[in-house]
Amino acid sequence: MGHIDEHTLELFFLEASEVAEQHDAIASHLRRCPSCSALSAEIAEFYELTAIHYSDRPAPDEAGKISGLPDDPYLQAFLKKVLVIPSDTSDPVNPPSG
Ligand SMILES: [Zn+2]
């Protein structure tokens, strides 16, 4: 297979069902291709920074909606996945008051 386009890498990172059949091929390409591997790392970093940016938003409601999210279904799916993880560590930015 040739190089992997950014959208496919994004779906791969999100473990989207759209790329489930290509999963092994993409994973093995990433191990061999520094260029795609670097792009993949950039995508992961972008999502992680976005998750941090949105981490102070309210948890998703029962409909699975998070307020103020960008209009990107993949980004929303990722944020729903990462933001529902309960935080069991103290928050150095907003220490409990009182
Ligand atoms: Zn490549």
Residue 12 binned pLDDT confidence (cut-offs 50, 70, 90): very high
pLDDT digits (tens, 9 = 90+) for 19-62: 999 999 999 999 999 999 999 999 999 988 888 887 776 666 66
Tokens 């999100």, located at residue: 14
- Position 20 scores a pLDDT of 94
Q: What separation in Å is there between the alpha carbon of 19 and the centre of ligand 1?
A: 16
What CA–CA distance (Å, rounded) separates 76 from 72? 6
Choose between 38 and 89: higher pLDDT: 38
Q: What separation in Å is there between the alpha carbon of 92 and the centre of ligand 1?
A: 40
Residues 6 or more apart from 21 whose CB is under 8 A from it? none
**Does pTM top 0.95 for this prediction?**
no
What CA–CA distance (Å, rounded) separates 52 from 40? 18
